[in-house]
């Protein structure tokens, strides 16, 4: 039975200063209240301003203006590690492509299905980069990150339960224009590796080409693995 008859893969705007949050607020409600709202969706974002991504244990505030003049999202972390209880843990920079996945599951989903879903975004991003001219030899994937010759340009976070699958990933295309902001990151792993932008390393990876091909890859993956 097809799992996704009406799954939406949308290109959206992300700009908290004017209230454009994509499906991130739906993710926040689920993480804080265990309550499902909205529809199953994959959102690929055109980000309009740099945004902090904090990972507190608990949070009553979804989005707020920080003291440095930037907005932050504050989605609780599904983990018990002290190292993540810090502000400015990740940066969604203006020259990145954030991806949000929020999918409601039912009892037809097997463990194998869930494993495929868990790896979908990472795999589709990886194959999109290969399609656009990045060499496999230059890419490594430690933990939830993507590295180009040892320099980090992407990372993702999963938060799932038996009834909901939620994931967020950000791919930095250019890091140099906001290098000073990157240096303000405070998480334990935030500056563990040098940060780069994949478009700065491989100029054929333009924003338009990346988003267009990524959406194609996601659709192909869904049709092959979930809608046959």
What gap in Å lies between CA 2 and CA 6, rounded to an integer? Answer: 10
**Which domains, ranges and CATH numbers included, belong to the chain?**
8-225 (3.30.930.10)
What gap in Å lies between CA 34 and CA 168, rounded to an integer? Answer: 18
Mean pLDDT for the chain overall: 89
Cα 78 to the center of its chain, rounded Å: 15
User: What's the pLDDT band for 188 if we cut at 50, 70, 90?
Assistant: low
In the sheet that holds 51-54, the strands lie side by side as 63-65, 71-74, 51-54, 90-92
Q: Residues 131-186: pLDDT tens digits? A: 999 999 999 998 789 999 999 999 988 877 778 999 999 999 999 999 999 888 87
Entry pTM: 0.92
The DSSP code for 158 is E
Q: Residues 56-77: pLDDT tens digits? A: 777 889 999 999 999 999 988 6
Q: Residues 93-110: pLDDT tens digits? A: 999 999 999 999 988 888
């Amino acid at each position: 039975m097809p799992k996704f008859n009406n799954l939406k893969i949308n290109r959206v705007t992300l700009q908290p200063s004017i209230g454009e949050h994509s499906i991130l607020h739906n993710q926040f409600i689920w993480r804080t209240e265990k309550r499902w709202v909205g529809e199953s969706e994959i959102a690929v974002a055109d980000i309009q301003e740099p945004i902090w991504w904090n990972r507190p244990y608990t949070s009553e505030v979804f989005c707020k203006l920080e003291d440095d003049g930037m907005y932050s999202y504050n989605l609780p972390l599904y983990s018990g590690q002290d190292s993540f209880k810090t502000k400015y843990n990740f940066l969604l920079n203006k020259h990145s492509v954030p991806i949000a996945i929020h999918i409601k599951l039912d009892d037809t989903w097997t463990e194998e299905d869930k494993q495929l879903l868990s790896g979908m975004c990472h795999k589709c991003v990886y194959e999109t980069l290969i399609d656009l001219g990045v060499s496999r030899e230059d890419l490594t994937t430690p933990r939830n990150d993507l590295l180009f010759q040892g320099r980090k340009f992407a990372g993702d976070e999963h938060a799932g339960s038996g009834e909901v699958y939620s994931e967020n990933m950000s791919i930095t295309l250019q890091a140099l224009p906001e290098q000073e902001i990157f240096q303000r990151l405070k998480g334990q792993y935030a500056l563990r590796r040098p940060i780069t932008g994949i478009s700065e390393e491989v100029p054929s990876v333009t924003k338009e080409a990346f988003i267009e091909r990524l959406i194609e890859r996601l659709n192909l993956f869904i049709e092959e693995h979930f809608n046959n």
